[in-house]
Amino acid sequence: MDIIFLREMKVDAVIGIWEWERKIRQTVSIDLDMATDIRKAAASDSVEDTLNYKSVAKRVQGFVADSGFQLVETLAERIAAIVLDEFDVSWVRVRVSKPGAIRGARDVGILIERGSRPADD
């Protein structure tokens, strides 16, 4: 199995359940692990033959910036659906966190996996 990953994408978004959270933008951090077969790209050395992680990042960043969900759970599910539906990915792991959201904790968030995780070759 091949994994293309993106780490610590920072996006400012309206997210949260409290009234004050609905009035401000907070930074969320997003990690993606995406299963895809990179062998064709490795042989051709062409971006057209692989998952273009810049395209994934731009799509996810734009979606998150325009969103207004109450729960990070909802945001994570929607990100997973975008990656699975719009890109050549059979499985995705999405981590969404709100750094500093809980006093005394560095980070809080959600980690989900969606799709069919391929067997290791």
Which amino acids are annotated catalytic? 98
Q: Are 30 and 99 contacting, i.e. CB atoms less than 8 angstroms apart? A: no
Which two structure tokens, joined as six digits, stand for 83? 């990656």
Residue type, 88: D
Give the CA diameter of the chain.
53
DSSP-derived pairing of the beta strands 26-35 and 109-115: unpaired
